[in-house]
Structure 1
């Protein structure tokens, strides 16, 4: 998620629904933040970030449906990325912490909230620090809380799966379960998507201030556990995980398609891709 230029005026987006929902989110935050800070002070696990993200999801009128079973043990979730709403869903439903760009840590309020959920901030453009960043993610995967990555590295248009950023998956080692998650907004996809021409404030106000509900389905696809970490095996694994997201006519893959087959229109995924 990246801050973008926002030339569109914001005043027309100010609605009663927007104001009411923002007040409700602030009330929720102020009501549960003291408990979270207290639990952190005594070094106890805090359920507050998950409660907060789940609560904000409901306040914004987003109704998630979960299909499938979350993996146990050290798990890395790989999810397609369409909107900042994906973060609310992955954190609120799956209790995941995230790998995010370092610049988000400097965003007012958002950076503070991200740190409360133990977000892992990385400098993606700093190639010299790739090893240290990989070690940080690997260390996080050794803890009970799942880690979520949006391997496309940015939000997409919703109609295609962009090539994965290999550096984001360098921390995947034997013993870590990788579970792809398909986030599907159905008929609301065009509404929810975050175009590159739309600024962050405009997009947030547009979605929060919208009346009605937004149904979304999170499909937890079959997990896999890599048995080796050799660099030459990583492209095969990446193609396998990319194949998990190619669903019906909704997605097409942009990039290296070697070893992939078209997905049946009547199935969410093809077992021959997952087991290759």
Structure 2
């Protein structure tokens, strides 16, 4: 999956206009609702602490309407988990943030660098994202944070591949982040729901159109997505949740989730 064979961004005048208009509307939606969220959080935080009974509804409103603005068709299959626990999914694009928040109240687990990204970092912090460093020396502290958030009833969303892909494959799931589920306080009460996200490219575009990986520029990928006409669609498959204590260890649970996600991904069958 190299970036050298990715076609350079080429926008027609009409495509450029479409990108600007959609971008303005999307920016008003995202940052306007972010302001409302932050103001509401001023009352929500002292009243409810780590609990967030109000503000996630704003996040879902933004994500649902982002697809209407972009013109990307959204299709969902299966039932969203109601049991306490976490969600794990394959990772193809920054669009996953909108895709997975659109129908379920989740809190993302992201690498620490995301917190400093302009725009995205602000949104991530405001919506309760958990930031982690892939450093063995911080594993114990991070495990404690996960336990606190899961115990509080938050459904954390992990990307066990550890990186985003071109959307045509599912990488092996790393079991490290599953360790928190097996603590004495959590293993007998938590469930995990695997989720498959599949992006279908616009008609005539290459299959990897929505994939965002490696050192690809966010700005150019965003512009390409905003300019696309017609747009493609995204499918989300919510698989059957499983109890953590049904598995002997984190590796067995990670493997089960990987298989469930991979088998429902028609573009990724046989690839890794």
The TM-score bracket by the shorter chain reads: 0.7 to 0.9
1:215 is the counterpart of 2:226? no
Output one character per residue of 1:26-70: Cα deviation in whole Å (capped at 9) or x when no partner: 221344334322321111621212212222232122221111111
1:20 is the counterpart of 2:28? no
Aligned with 2:218 (options 164, 189, 200)? 200
1:39 is the counterpart of 2:45? no
Gaps of 5+ in 1: 256-276
Task: Give aligned pairs, total.
Answer: 248
Given that 1:73 and 1:144 are in contact with CA atoms closer than 8 Å, whether structure 2 keeps it comes out as: no
**In 2, Cα distance between equivalents of 1:150 and 1:253:** 20
**What is the CA-CA distance between 1:205 and the residue it aligns to?**
1.5
Q: TM-score, normalization: structure 1?
A: 0.80
**What is the CA-CA distance between 1:166 and the residue it aligns to?**
1.9
Distance 1:163 1:213, change over 3 A: same
Distance 1:113 1:187, change over 3 A: closer
Q: Which residue of 1 aligns with 2:193?
A: 179
Given that 1:134 and 1:170 are in contact with CA atoms closer than 8 Å, whether structure 2 keeps it comes out as: yes
**In 2, Cα distance between equivalents of 1:154 and 1:242:** 14
Given that 1:75 and 1:176 are in contact with CA atoms closer than 8 Å, whether structure 2 keeps it comes out as: yes
Q: Which residue of 2 aligns with 1:128?
A: 137
Q: Which residue of 1 aligns with 2:169?
A: 160
Given that 1:245 and 1:251 are in contact with CA atoms closer than 8 Å, whether structure 2 keeps it comes out as: no
Distance 1:209 1:254, change over 3 A: closer
Q: Which residue of 2 aligns with 1:269?
A: none
Gaps of 5+ in 2: 45-52
Aligned with 1:227 (options 240, 245, 254)? 245
**What is the CA-CA distance between 1:210 and the residue it aligns to?**
1.3
Runs of 4+ in 1 over 6 A off after TM superposition: 7-11
Given that 2:167 and 2:210 are in contact with CA atoms closer than 8 Å, whether structure 1 keeps it comes out as: no
SS across alignment from 1:178: strand
Aligned with 2:254 (options 205, 216, 238)? 238
**In 1, Cα distance between equivalents of 2:30 and 2:208:** 30
Output one character per residue of 1:238-266: Cα deviation in whole Å (capped at 9) or x when no partner: 221111023375324667xxxxxxxxxxx
Residue correspondence of structure 1 range 88-127 to structure 2 within 5 A? 88-124=98-134, 126-127=135-136
**What is the CA-CA distance between 1:75 and the residue it aligns to?**
2.4
Given that 1:49 and 1:116 are in contact with CA atoms closer than 8 Å, whether structure 2 keeps it comes out as: no
Given that 1:8 and 1:202 are in contact with CA atoms closer than 8 Å, whether structure 2 keeps it comes out as: no
SS across alignment from 2:240: coil
Given that 1:172 and 1:229 are in contact with CA atoms closer than 8 Å, whether structure 2 keeps it comes out as: no
**In 2, Cα distance between equivalents of 1:31 and 1:106:** 20
RMSD: 2.6
Aligned with 1:68 (options 56, 78, 87)? 78
**In 2, Cα distance between equivalents of 1:246 and 1:91:** 21
SS across alignment from 1:70: coil
SS across alignment from 1:236: helix
Distance 1:158 1:34, change over 3 A: closer
